Chains A and B, each alone.
Chain A
């Protein structure tokens, strides 16, 4: 009862990408990328910086148009699903001139906006800071407000663009637990972009590696939740993905060596 404000049944939307391209000038950042994400799945995308993982997320959010290929969210073009898709950015991007509660209800036009905003804040444990200015919050608290702001719109696809990158290790682990618990409860589809393989393995059903605009590794993570960082199976998967990322970058640099010399 308490949380029926957010989740309609079977909330998650599937994502289907076919031959997705994105060019910046003559450079192809995404080069014919194919991907299917089942409704309600938690997918993490890892890769070195500049591999196109953030661009992929921005296309899913409708922040940028694709240069070619198909992009369907819940069976419809992404542009038609904008209201069902919410994004958490690397920085919290709270409006400094609005209180925490006003930030959370941004863009919410319903008469019960205030009540929903407070519910969402209760969800992330910050209801007692509802009337504070963002400037007095810590980095972790700001990202929790940003999460509440995304949740209040009842998203069916939540995109997370390295939202924990700037947080300290302890706050990150707290945020992992929080994100995992709201995802389990509300069953939206989640796509997390991160450079931290351990974070990807801790949270995702599936870890994807993006290299040179394509998906080159698709690793299912079958561990039971909640996952402990210490377990052997966890370390095994983390090690496998990590060595794959590093091997590829070693290859790339050895390929580039002669070119530099020539």
Chain B
């Protein structure tokens, strides 16, 4: 009895997307929707297949993913290190936090003209944009995560002889981890947004290049393939973040409820 209901529950989130797809297909076939505006789903599927078989799709996805992860590694890594520093040491906070809070209020996309002047339109410009975008969610959440660690636990650990790195490893880092992972999740979302913008400005490869190129030739179906790819990759990033939380926050009552 339990298994069919569980299957149904697993399918339930997909009912609405499926209905939208059916309505879309129906209105395209009835001629109600022009294929210039929105080609039918089957045409999009065919375009997807064509690109996949030619190998250009995988090439573009690989390039885009590489840029996204590269930017995440640079920006997220810096955010983590600086967040740990300002969260842990008062001096680092006094020196850096005000500056960082000011920069944070500048939208990353407002820097595009400057980025083009600095880096031109090659790879480093895209990496820079992604990196600066993902930096702040991770920085802020790491900083606040460290600051919000239960002072009672720190006091207890100190009175039990822990200090320095063991104190950090046993109490402060695990205490800040839920917050750091929230930051990572935000960053993964922003990562794709910034990459899309960076790739549509100027690129010789990648998903953004593919869609902008298709627009020139009025290939609406290929543009849609690009849009769907971003949606899928975004969903995948979210899934990865969720799995990381599930794995690293096993002790948390929220996740205990799931496994028990």
A54-88 interface bits toward B, Cβ cutoff 8 Å, 1 = contact, 0 = none: 00000001110000000000000000001100110
Given A62, A107, A135, which contacts B256 in the complex, CB threshold below 8 Å? A135
Size of the chain B interface, CB-CB below 8 angstroms: 23
How far does the Cβ of B178 sit from chain A's closest Cβ, in whole Å? Answer: 9
Given B159, B162, B170, B250, which contacts A63 in the complex, CB threshold below 8 Å? B159
Given contact pairs A95-B171, A135-B251, A135-B256, A89 touches B160 in the complex (Cβ within 8 A): no
A170 close to chain B: CB less than 8 A: no
* CA A218 to CA B250, docked complex, whole Å: 49
Q: Is A136 touching B256 in the complex (CB atoms < 8 A)?
A: yes
Given contact pairs A133-B251, A133-B256, A106 touches B170 in the complex (Cβ within 8 A): yes
* CA A134 to CA B251, docked complex, whole Å: 8
B155 close to chain A: CB less than 8 A: yes
Q: Is B170 touching A135 in the complex (CB atoms < 8 A)?
A: no
Q: Is B161 touching A95 in the complex (CB atoms < 8 A)?
A: no
B4 close to chain A: CB less than 8 A: no
Q: Which DSSP category, helix, strand, loop or mixed, fits chain A's interface? A: loop
A-B Cβ contacts below 8 A, count: 54
How far does the Cβ of A161 sit from chain B's closest Cβ, in whole Å? Answer: 11
Q: Is A91 touching B152 in the complex (CB atoms < 8 A)?
A: yes
Residues of B within 8 A of A8 (CB): none
Q: Is B253 touching A135 in the complex (CB atoms < 8 A)?
A: yes
Size of the chain A interface, CB-CB below 8 angstroms: 22
Q: Is B153 touching A93 in the complex (CB atoms < 8 A)?
A: yes
Q: Is B252 touching A95 in the complex (CB atoms < 8 A)?
A: no
How far does the Cβ of B177 sit from chain A's closest Cβ, in whole Å? Answer: 8
B174 close to chain A: CB less than 8 A: yes
Q: Is A82 touching B161 in the complex (CB atoms < 8 A)?
A: yes
8 A Cβ contacts from A116-142 to B: 133-136
A94-123 interface bits toward B, Cβ cutoff 8 Å, 1 = contact, 0 = none: 011110000000110000000000000000
8 extra A-B contacts, CB within 8 A, seeds A62-B159, A82-B161, A86-B160: A89-B156, A93-B153, A93-B156, A95-B157, A95-B174, A97-B177, A98-B170, A135-B256
Residues of A within 8 A of B (CB): 61-63, 82-83, 86-87, 89, 91, 93, 95-98, 106-107, 133-136, 149, 153
20 contacts between A and B (CB under 8 A): A61-B159, A89-B152, A89-B156, A93-B153, A95-B153, A96-B252, A97-B177, A97-B251, A98-B170, A98-B251, A106-B157, A106-B170, A107-B160, A107-B161, A107-B166, A133-B250, A133-B256, A134-B251, A135-B253, A153-B160
